[in-house]
Amino acid sequence: MAPAQYRKPPQLPPTFTATPESLITDTQRLIDRSRDVQDSIVKNISPEKASFKDVLLPSAHDDNKMAIEAHIIGFYQAVSTDSKLRDASTEAEKLLDDFGIESGMREDVFKLIDAVLQRKEELDPESQRLLEKDHKSYIRNGLGLAGPQRDRFKEIKKRLSEISITFQKNLNEEAGGIWFTPEELHGVPEDLVSSLKKGEGENEGKLWLTFKYPDLFPTQKYATNAQMRQKLFVENENKCNQNVPLFKEAVVLRDEAARLLGYNNHAEFKIEDKMAKTPKTVDDFLGDLRTRLAPGGVKEIQHLLALKQQDLKERRLSDDSSRYFLWDHRYYDRLMLEKDYSLDQQKIAEYFPLSTTIGGMLKIFEELFGLVFVEILGDDRDQLAESTKGSDIVWHEDVQLFSVWDDESEGKGFVGYLYLDLFPRTGKYGHAANFNLQPGYIDENGKRRYPATALVCNFSKPTPKKPSLLKHDEVVTLFHELGHGIHDLVGRTIYSRFHGTNTVRDFVEAPSQMLENWCWTPSQLRSLSKHYSYLSTDYEQAYFESSGETKKPSESMPHELIAKLLSTKHVNDALFNLRQLHFGIFDMTVHTPKSHEEIENMDISEKFNKLRHEISQLDGAEVVDGSKGWGWGHGQATFGHLIGGYDAGYYGYLSSQVYSTDMFYTVFKANPMNGKEGRRYRHTVLEKGGSREEITLLVDFLGRQPSTEAFYKDLGLA
Ligand SMILES: [Zn+2]
């Protein structure tokens, strides 16, 4: 049971008891209220009298209240087990989006906001920023356009919102896979093989391998049969084909909309209010990085190809040994780590049971940022539920719930709620991500409202013989996503609009990426690790049985193993970053056509595959199955980022890395557990969210302008 001082949060957690009907009525109620607020502003205030307090503030308060319900309404589609609820959630999101488009184009409201801006009142910096951003967003919504053009613009926006929702829904509901015989899965870890669904009838004797991460990645890494890896890779690149026309339509419509507003292309429109400001800055950055990475990529391929040739020779196989394929990469990358570095990733995973790793991770964040995480279980859940039914405050029985507090040094106040939803389910969002459920803000009575944030991941489920064990890269992912979660939790802004991770897209990854460095620090790895045989006697016994060992391993990860792991940090790093570059350059390519015809005529699938080959130099099915040429797959159909808000923004993953490495090397490298710096970081950067220019936050924290030096140095490219 939680200590008394942490048992009474000043704000109850939200409930997850919606029905398909209630989702729609609630949404309608939110929309009506919001429309009333705007109507009443327009009715009661004239441009001559318009002030921040009378025009912006009522809308901002309404936005706040809308957000604490709307995010959850939309969240059901990512996590509910009930397909009717997911559908209703999708439907509700459409209604909200459409309403957002309508109200974002209201001329009568814009006139008042424009009048407020002209008035140049003395405002606090965050309110001033709200005013400027709001004003700008109306212009970006086409209010400068005349009649038919404006109608067309609105039509495009609505269609784009529909596309985005359908695209993501198709991804969530994707349920494809392949029937393999056990022989075809030779080499794949037994844990996975034994967990696969067994076929009946015509599939008797076969096993169903899905395209979900816990199935896909280990198979690509370990399946010895190259034809099977190829089949899996190619079919995975061909899933969700309903999304192919949607993707194309989206980029064509975006281009049309940008041109209507007078921009040369969609990227120019999107990047103007980001840190990079212009597509040229982005292209220069990506181009420079590509030039620097290319030679390293070629060298890595040469080495991997030699390894492949040796492997084929040893196994007396006559596969094509002159080329290094996309479906070879995870396999030989893994083999190389085992052969050249004798690194066994499964062995490392034994030291990272999910539950203790999460515990260790939360402890690190407690020390660093002055937080306390208290898991809410059993009776405590009932106490916090308005209905006194603890199951009402989570959306699924797997979900863990924590109340988060400031520690003594930070004043013992309440911080917010954190949820962890860690295992795959049918219909659930298929990647790892952080979702804001309720933002924080200051309400109209001056009272602070606290945030709620959720990590949604897809780690393999525990079995009676083994807990869920995390590969090192999954530990990194967990740190990354929890990094977004912390950013979201400690946000302390006036308006929900700027809360937490509501920063510009080319900065938002930096805080999470910075925390990934903790997973590459020996002291942290040691304190995070705990061999699973120490968790219970059952696990201990199961360990002896499965490993054939007679001696128990050490409890924490041994120093030699840590040293080995660290020595691999940059192995095949150029290829990894070239892959990121492929995504970034593809994104910029489809969003910067020279003319509208160019994008209309572009074969997106071909472009995707061709660019990947040119940038990474890896071969794909284009050289195997000549009939389809470059159009053999359509990776863009599962590239959710480009439809879900990262359009002309994927480069942000790479450019954020510049900031994150700079911050880590400058402030934390010497001592990652420096709590004084951790708290300074929390208060200077994290809690400000998007309420200031991001560059200002960085300069405040670093004490100077950010530099690319640490980034290139870390990549070995300085
Ligand atoms: Zn992220």
Q: What is the 3-state secondary structure of 148-207?
A: HHHHHHHHHHHHHHHHHHHHHHHHHHCCCEEEECCCCCCCCCHHHHHHCEECCHHHCCCE
Q: Is residue 167 part of a domain?
A: no
Burial call 88-124: b when 16+ CB within 10 Å, e when fewer: bbbbbbbbbbbbbbebbbbeebbbbbbbbbeeeeebe
Residue 708 has pLDDT above 70, yes or no: yes
Q: 98 with 181, same domain? A: no
Q: Is residue 630 part of a domain?
A: no
Q: 139 with 186, same domain? A: no
Q: 54 with 139, same domain? A: yes
Q: 422 with 503, same domain? A: yes
Q: 430 with 540, same domain? A: yes
Report the CATH number that the domain containing residue 456 is assigned in CATH.
Answer: 3.40.390.10
Distance 661 CA to ligand 1 centre (A): 15
Could you give the CA distance from residue 123 to residue 116 in angstroms, rounded to a whole number? 11
Q: 125 with 225, same domain? A: no
Q: 555 with 516, same domain? A: yes
As given in the structure block, the two tokens for residue 657 are 């890395």
Pairing of strands 371-375, 448-449: unpaired
Q: Is residue 34 part of a domain?
A: yes
Distance 175 CA to ligand 1 centre (A): 25
Q: Is residue 222 part of a domain?
A: yes
pLDDT band of residue 2 (cuts 50, 70, 90) is low
Report the CATH number that the domain containing residue 61 is assigned in CATH.
Answer: 1.20.1050.40
Q: 90 with 36, same domain? A: yes
Distance 314 CA to ligand 1 centre (A): 41
Lowest-confidence segment of 422-426, 580-584, 672-676 by average pLDDT: 422-426
Taking CA atoms, 406 is separated from 100, 276, 413, 416, in Å, by 35, 35, 5, 10
Q: Is residue 66 part of a domain?
A: yes
- pLDDT tens, residue by residue, 474-511: 999 999 999 999 999 999 999 999 999 999 999 999 99
Could you give the CA distance from residue 371 to residue 404 in angstroms, rounded to a whole number? 7
- What integer pLDDT is reported at residue 141 of this predicted model? 92
Contact residues for 171 (Cβ-Cβ < 8 A; gap 6+): 240, 243, 430, 638, 640
Q: Is residue 42 part of a domain?
A: yes
- pLDDT tens, residue by residue, 521-534: 999 999 999 999 99
Mean pLDDT across the chain:
95
Tell me the average pLDDT across 240-260.
97
Q: 93 with 52, same domain? A: yes
Distance 481 CA to ligand 1 centre (A): 6
- What integer pLDDT is reported at residue 266 of this predicted model? 98
The distance of Cα 153 from the centroid of its chain, to the nearest Å, equals: 29
Could you give the CA distance from residue 357 to residue 371 in angstroms, rounded to a whole number? 17
- Count other Cβ atoms within 10 Å, centred on residue 22: 14
**In 517-674, where does DSSP find H-type helix?**
522-528, 537-547, 559-567, 573-590, 596-601, 604-616, 651-663
Coil vs helix vs strand at 454: strand
- Last residue in a domain, options 518, 543, 559: 559
Residue 30 has pLDDT above 60, yes or no: yes
Distance 124 CA to ligand 1 centre (A): 31
Place of tokens 């002030």: 51
Q: 136 with 183, same domain? A: no
> Are 237 and 248 within 8 A, CB to CB?
no
- Last residue in a domain, options 524, 559, 594: 559
Distance 535 CA to ligand 1 centre (A): 31
Distance 286 CA to ligand 1 centre (A): 19
Distance 454 CA to ligand 1 centre (A): 13
- pLDDT tens, residue by residue, 130-188: 999 999 999 999 988 988 999 999 999 999 999 999 999 999 889 999 999 999 999 99
Distance 692 CA to ligand 1 centre (A): 20
Q: 114 with 183, same domain? A: no
- What integer pLDDT is reported at residue 15 of this predicted model? 97
- pLDDT tens, residue by residue, 254-306: 999 999 999 999 999 999 999 999 999 999 999 999 999 999 999 999 999 99
718 vs 324, residue with greater confidence: 324
Phi-psi sector, 294: left (phi>0), alpha (psi -120 to 50), beta: alpha
- What integer pLDDT is reported at residue 191 of this predicted model? 86
Residue 625 has pLDDT above 80, yes or no: no
Could you give the CA distance from residue 48 to residue 83 in angstroms, rounded to a whole number? 51
Lowest-confidence segment of 84-98, 490-504, 613-627, 694-708 by average pLDDT: 613-627
Taking CA atoms, 423 is separated from 438, 549, 683, in Å, by 22, 30, 33
Range of the domain at 95: 20-144
Q: Is residue 377 part of a domain?
A: yes
What is the total count of domains within the chain? 3
- What integer pLDDT is reported at residue 463 of this predicted model? 86
Sheet holding 433-438, edge to edge: 371-375, 400-406, 414-421, 452-456, 433-438
CA-based nearest residue to 458, from 478, 480, 432: 432
Predicted complex ipTM: 0.99
pLDDT band of residue 465 (cuts 50, 70, 90) is confident
- pLDDT tens, residue by residue, 363-416: 999 999 999 999 999 999 999 999 999 999 999 999 999 999 999 999 999 999
Could you give the CA distance from residue 264 to residue 280 in angstroms, rounded to a whole number? 12
- Last residue in a domain, options 515, 541, 559: 559
> Are 168 and 640 within 8 A, CB to CB?
yes
The distance of Cα 453 from the centroid of its chain, to the nearest Å, equals: 13
- Determine which helix (DSSP H) or strand (DSSP E) holds 473, and give its type and residue range: helix 472-489
- What integer pLDDT is reported at residue 1 of this predicted model? 54
> Are 471 and 348 within 8 A, CB to CB?
yes
Tell me the average pLDDT across 573-578.
94
Which of the residues are catalytic? 481
Q: 190 with 76, same domain? A: no
pLDDT band of residue 356 (cuts 50, 70, 90) is very high
Q: Is residue 619 part of a domain?
A: no
Distance 205 CA to ligand 1 centre (A): 40
CA-based nearest residue to 698, from 710, 709, 686: 686
Distance 643 CA to ligand 1 centre (A): 16
